[in-house]
Amino acid sequence: MEFKPTTKQNRIEVVDALRGFALLGVLLANVPYGNSEAIQTASDPALTFLYHLLIDKKFITIFSMLFGFGFYIQMTRAEEKNISFQPYFVKRMLLLFLIGVIHSFLFWNGDIIMSYAFGGIFLLLIRKLSNKALMILAVVFNVFITGIIFIGNSSLGWSEYSYDFALAAEQPITQSFLRYLEINWITSPWTNFLNDMPLTLAFTFGNMIIGMLLGRIDFFRLPEKLKTLTNWLIGLGLTIGLASSYILHLIFTGALELDIPQLWVPFVIIAGMLLQSLSYISIFLRLYRSERVKKVIGFFNPVGKTALTNYLMQSVFYLLIFFLCLPGLHLFGKITQGETYTLALVLFGLQSLISSLWLRKFPQGPVEFLWKKLSYKNFSHLRLYQKTKNTKVKATLTIAMILLGSFFVHAQDRIASKVMFKSGEESIEGILIRPNMQNNTPAVVFQQGSGPHAFDGYEKEAWGPHKFYIEDVLLEQGYAVLYCNKRGLGNSSGNWRQNDFYGRAKDAYAAITYLKSLEFIDPNRIGISGHSQGGWIAQIVASEHDDIAFVLCLAGPTIGVQAQVDDNDRSRFICEGYTGDKLDKKIEKRKRALVKSANLGKNSGLIGSAKHWYLIHDYTNEEELKALRCPALFLFGEFDINVDPQININLLNTLFDYEIPKNISYKVMPKGNHGFYKVENKCVEWDTATKNGFDPEFQNEIRQWLKEL
């Protein structure tokens, strides 16, 4: 007797719908979001809260349980027909693992398919255990082993990565597909197996076991007979489950720190997550029993029936719509969190429509067809086209995507080119923008602020004051502009997290030296500018070299790093509603955390955020300010939550005994924020601010100052 694939008659319809519902949650959980300050909105905290409370980890848990249920169904059908199931299923899992390898390393390394294939092999070993034994095994893997690994990785230093985490920030914005693949390989959980995969495999395998158990008790076929169980699952999921997700939110947002007395918390969170996922399944099954509701949520069926194809297509969507490595919309970091989720819903609707149209002619998705065709010994039962065995497959599917944005073309003439130059042993990538083809062109080297912001695509990466002052001011005034990728970003070598401010200043001066080597640049009129943290870098360069024409500091602090961070934290906590003793306690807690981070960075060999913080936390710039001899303009925003103007101006006055040298001038832009957008107070979010418009007086101030040089 031959082993045939599942037919339309013996499929469980609600499981298809549930699988489609889970895929929607997976899409919402994974859809790329830039999280740039320039696109933050007032609704972001609420969306983040709802994401952690309702979505994060819940739907991939459901998806994993359904995989275990699918294993049980196939095994049961094989046993009923006295068919040798094990050789078939091993072959099927090996093929699935191969599909996962292709998906993970060529598209998106967040792949879960390889984990399913890996765990599926081990399901064969436990398939004959009793329900009680399976339940115990599920709890052991899902709660205890997963919890222990989580604690070990997060608190005991079990996982040590050899790569810089800045690579993850570079991946969505690199314009080179080869570079994208390189980062994909370096950061892949399977490449870093011991660091990343034990946790995933343990949790996934535990979920598969639960799926097998649900199959054994006819949970999906006869849910009405298990009303008491589903009542309990719904009740526990909506109480303990939601409470656990709330705790998870507190941890992810930094409101709760897991010290030794709280090491029991991860076990509770994992158990609650399982209960919440099971409550979602139970509620969905009950809703599906209503014919009226079934017509609505039946929208999920086509996606669920072609789940593997649609899961893979979601990664294709990410590449073509968000990331920059292939031709596409390149929306990463350009749309808000709310807009990102809205777009994800539109994409899922498109998947449902396409899947529905496809299933009118074909019994399964294209990837499912190939996978099953290679899995079954007898191919005669697998026909892509439904009408007859002898009908040749002649079908094409055209997917039309509506452009959701348009590319902007710069109105003014300019010549932009990528350049490479050496800074010691490192190679630094830059983008040079010329306003014309004339010789003796003055120039500015620009230094961006903190973080892994790669400028490997001028039109795509410029934001806030960078874009406005480069395009609308400096080019207009005849200046060429060179700004560079930090070490390790774009095509620059090295690692920016290993580079302190003096190292960044060395790279910046290497850019100036490079400009001097160009025959069309006036070597006597090269200035340096920096925004935010880049202001410190500009001050160092100008203080160490006497050939700098001028310094332009945009929201660049005159106080040291620790003082600036303390000021920023105080302002941020006040905006969050803290006052009095609660405010003081919050600030002290934050200071203690920063001290711990610096100590961790000092004692750890890992090159991460703690190490970088250790390298820069005690920097003060008083000596650099005293050594400035060239003209320097400091522009501050009145309502800058990051760099308070009064504190920084007071430092200048104190430093020079209230006789600030004539070469140093400053100006506070009324109602300006950190990006020089007009706002009503410090607490206005970036996105709201941008809608109020960029402050034109900021541009006029720079124009006037440059004319007077």
pLDDT in tens, 203-237: 999 999 999 999 999 898 877 788 899 999 999 99
The pLDDT > 90 percentage for the chain reads: 50
Least confident residue range of 474-483, 627-636, 692-701: 692-701
User: In this structure, which amino acid lies at residue 424?
Assistant: G
Is the pLDDT score of 561 beyond 50? Answer: yes
The answer to whether residues 136 and 267 belong to one domain is yes
Q: CB-based contacts of 610: which residues, under 8 Å, 6+ apart?
A: 597, 598, 600, 601, 604
Count Cβ neighbours within 10 Å for each residue of 252-282 and write b for 16 or more, e otherwise.
eeeeeebeeeeeebbbbbbbbbbbbbbbbbb
Q: How many CB atoms lie within 10 A of CB 319?
A: 20
Does residue 425 fall inside a structural domain? yes
pLDDT confidence of residue 45: 87
The answer to whether residues 524 and 604 belong to one domain is no
User: H-type helices in 495-554, by residue range?
Assistant: 501-516, 533-544
pLDDT confidence of residue 489: 82
Total number of residues shown for the chain: 709
pLDDT in tens, 103-132: 999 998 889 999 999 999 999 999 989 999
Is the pLDDT score of 305 beyond 60? Answer: yes
- Point out the domain boundary residue: 356, 381, 406: 381
The answer to whether residues 145 and 212 belong to one domain is yes
Is the pLDDT score of 297 beyond 70? Answer: yes
The answer to whether residues 75 and 118 belong to one domain is yes
Does residue 81 fall inside a structural domain? yes
pLDDT confidence of residue 259: 60
Q: For the residues 356-381, what does the mean pLDDT come to?
A: 80
- Point out the domain boundary residue: 585, 603, 618: 618
Does residue 693 fall inside a structural domain? yes
User: H-type helices in 517-608, by residue range?
Assistant: 533-544, 561-575, 580-603
Its domain, for residue 648, covers 415-559+621-707
pLDDT confidence of residue 281: 95
Question: Could you tell me the CATH number of the domain that includes residue 629?
Answer: 3.40.50.1820
pLDDT confidence of residue 389: 40
The answer to whether residues 293 and 344 belong to one domain is yes
Q: For the residues 69-75, what does the mean pLDDT come to?
A: 90
pLDDT in tens, 662-675: 999 999 999 988 88
Q: For the residues 698-704, what does the mean pLDDT come to?
A: 87
Q: For the residues 44-54, what does the mean pLDDT come to?
A: 91
3-state secondary structure of 410: coil
Does residue 388 fall inside a structural domain? no
Is the pLDDT score of 70 beyond 60? Answer: yes
Q: For the residues 468-479, what does the mean pLDDT come to?
A: 77
Q: For the residues 584-609, what does the mean pLDDT come to?
A: 78
Is the pLDDT score of 465 beyond 90? Answer: no
Q: Name the band, by pLDDT with cuts 50, 70 and 90, for residue 548.
A: very high
Give the residue among 213, 263, 252, 249 at the shortest CA–CA distance from 233.
213
The answer to whether residues 470 and 483 belong to one domain is yes
Is the pLDDT score of 380 beyond 60? Answer: no
Average pLDDT value over all residues in the chain: 84
Q: CB-based contacts of 38: which residues, under 8 Å, 6+ apart?
A: 463, 464, 675, 686, 687, 690
Task: Locate 218 and state its tokens.
Answer: 């006819």
Contacts of 255-259 with CB under 8 Å at 24 or more apart are: 257/593, 258/154, 258/155
Q: For the residues 470-476, what does the mean pLDDT come to?
A: 77
Q: Tell me 261's DSSP state.
A: G
pLDDT confidence of residue 688: 60
The answer to whether residues 240 and 314 belong to one domain is yes
- Point out the domain boundary residue: 618, 646, 665: 618
pLDDT confidence of residue 404: 32
Does residue 5 fall inside a structural domain? no
Is the pLDDT score of 37 beyond 80? Answer: no
Is the pLDDT score of 33 beyond 90? Answer: no
pLDDT confidence of residue 385: 42
pLDDT confidence of residue 171: 85
Q: For the residues 419-427, what does the mean pLDDT come to?
A: 91
Phi-psi group of 393: left, alpha or beta (phi > 0 → left; psi -120 to 50 → alpha; rest → beta): beta
pLDDT in tens, 606-665: 556 777 888 999 999 999 999 999 999 999 999 999 999 999 999 999 999 999 999 999
The answer to whether residues 221 and 151 belong to one domain is yes
pLDDT confidence of residue 262: 67
| CA–CA separation, 25 and 277 (whole Å) | 11
Is the pLDDT score of 522 beyond 90? Answer: yes
CA 370 centroid distance within chain: 32
The pLDDT > 70 percentage for the chain reads: 85
Hey, which residues does 635 pair with through a beta bridge? 554, 667
pTM for this prediction: 0.56
Q: Name the band, by pLDDT with cuts 50, 70 and 90, for residue 407.
A: very low
The answer to whether residues 703 and 577 belong to one domain is no
| CA–CA separation, 139 and 669 (whole Å) | 59
Least confident residue range of 31-35, 493-497, 509-513, 589-593: 31-35
The answer to whether residues 612 and 626 belong to one domain is no
The answer to whether residues 518 and 629 belong to one domain is yes
Does residue 348 fall inside a structural domain? yes
Q: For the residues 674-699, what does the mean pLDDT come to?
A: 75
Q: Tell me 4's DSSP state.
A: P
3-state secondary structure of 331: coil
Does residue 391 fall inside a structural domain? no
The answer to whether residues 422 and 337 belong to one domain is no
Is the pLDDT score of 397 beyond 60? Answer: no
Q: Name the band, by pLDDT with cuts 50, 70 and 90, for residue 679.
A: confident
Q: Name the band, by pLDDT with cuts 50, 70 and 90, for residue 468.
A: low
pLDDT confidence of residue 350: 95
Per the structure, the count of domains in the chain is 3
Is the pLDDT score of 410 beyond 50? Answer: no
In contact, 68 and 121? CB cutoff 8 Å: no
Does residue 8 fall inside a structural domain? no
Query: Which of 2-6, 39-43, 522-526 tops mean pLDDT?
Result: 522-526
pLDDT confidence of residue 405: 34
